[in-house]
A and B are shown apart, each in its own frame.
Chain A
Amino acid sequence: MRCRKVRSCLSAFCRGEIAPGVAGDITRHIDGCPSCRREAEAFRAVNRMLTQQTPLKTGDDFSARLFARIANENFAEKREKAYLPGRIPLVGASRLAVVAVTAVVVLLVGAGINLSQMAGPSSVPLALSTSTGSGGSDNDLYLTVQPTHNPLLNSQKSVSRMVQQYNRWRELSRVVRSQSGAEQFMGNGSTVVMASSGYGSAPVNGIRIRPVVKNYLFTPENSSAGARGAVY
């Protein structure tokens, strides 16, 4: 065996990691080679130093501190999960169906109530005129037998109902004009002055208009171009 070959595995030889056959060859070489013997001695000295080393140890309170940390981490993990769920909770199909049906019913009822509120004062029977006349269609006849206060029925907007509503508001605006005082129009058509004088006025078509609360003042000085009056 040559020195170069021996030295390449000398450290392993000194640790007893070499197979017995090869180890015998190395031993024979070292016996006859002083420089390789010196190298082997150096390795053995390092090994002795390693075995004499005092092993490093953890402190006495290591376990206590570790378990305290684990307890804290557990708590933090739970809190995080409570606020930010890692996954979407699974809901059964039957439960989803019940939720969907409930949502649809709630939406329908809500929409019906809103539309009935938009339809105007309930003191005026909306379906009244549809029943007038003997030549009414089947549809008219159908409307007449329905209760007029039914919110679901009111939400159904037929053309005749829309015409009827338009006529009602037109009549109302005419009554308002006749019961209130003077009114003037600017060049652009917007109402500027509308004095309230409707106190005690006689009802027109059974409708009495309440007095105007907010008064608009119009003076000749600010009636020039650009002036729009002021609200007091």
Chain B
Amino acid sequence: MENETAKQQDHDLFHKVQDGDMVAFNDLVNRYRDRLMNVIGRMLPSREESEDIVQETFLRVYQHRSSFDFKHCFSTWLYTIALNLARNELRKKKKYRFVDIADIQNTEIEVSVEAKIPSDLGPALNEAIGSLPEKYKTAFLLRDIEEMPYEEVARVLSVPLGTVKSRVNRARSILRDKLRPRMEERNALSKGALLPVSLL
């Protein structure tokens, strides 16, 4: 019911956008920009690139506003565009890998600190999500981070519902396996166990 209301609101706004109402477009941007960023920002390595992709998504939406089919959900269309752009960006990155020396130095420092004191599991979680295979990652982000219904995830990714469920399940299992050692370590620290000599 809530989804239906949100869908109707999106459609009302988009009708106005098609009539050239930029205020309505601004409302749509404000509705979705952080949600998109929350997904795309976990797919791409840098924040600047993610923001560029989110911007490009809204730009494409505006450019192709006349071709939107109101039979479909606006959010499905929006996420499909954003994920396609992010995938293209990742593909380009695979071809040409640019590495900044400063980034390497920072990463090394962060990793070493984290290995010694695993008090904050946030970076570890992000790292684990980032290391997921792309098809599992997109399904997981849309379902568990964005909390999108399975049916809509299936429409965004253009795959059957069963495939989405199995991908999400697989992604959760991989995350659990990757994070388990960190979590056990943390539990041990919180219980006051002695640190291993190698970590001191």
Tell me the A residues contacting B by CB distance below 8 Å.
8-9, 11-12, 15, 39, 42-43, 45-46, 49-50, 52-59, 62-63, 65-67, 69-70, 73
Contacts and interface: CB of A to CB of B under 8 A. Distances in A.
Contact of A65 (B42, B55, B144): B55
Interface string B150-180: 0000000000000001001100110110011
A50 B145 contact: yes
Nearest to B22: A67
Contact of B26 (A8, A58, A63): A63
B55 A62 contact: yes
A50 B183 CA distance: 13
A11 B22 CA distance: 43
B29 A66 contact: yes
Nearest to A65: B55
B37 A56 contact: yes
A56 B38 contact: yes
Nearest 8 A/B pairs, CB to CB: A56-B41, A11-B172, A58-B37, A55-B38, A58-B33, A57-B34, A42-B176, A56-B38
B172 A43 contact: yes
Interface SS majority for chain A: helix
A183 to B, nearest CB: 80
Contacts of A58: 33-34, 37, 51, 54
Given A62-B55, A73-B59, A49 B121 contact: yes
A21 B107 CA distance: 48
Given A55-B34, A58-B37, A73-B63, A45 B54 contact: no
7 contacts: A39-B176, A42-B176, A56-B38, A56-B41, A62-B51, A62-B55, A66-B29
Interface string B33-63: 1100110011000010011001100110011
A11 B169 contact: yes
Interface of B: 22, 26, 29-30, 33-34, 37-38, 41-42, 47, 50-51, 54-55, 58-59, 62-63, 121-122, 125-126, 144-145, 165, 168-169, 172-173, 175-176, 179-180, 183
Contacts of A57: 34, 37-38
Nearest to B34: A57
A59 B51 contact: yes
Contact of B30 (A45, A54, A63): A63
Nearest to B186: A45
A124 to B, nearest CB: 72
A62 B62 CA distance: 15
B193 to A, nearest CB: 18
Contacts of A63: 26, 29-30, 33
A70 B41 contact: no
A65 B26 CA distance: 12
B145 A70 contact: no
B176 A43 contact: yes
B173 A66 contact: no
B179 A46 contact: yes
B180 A42 contact: yes
Contacts of B175: 46
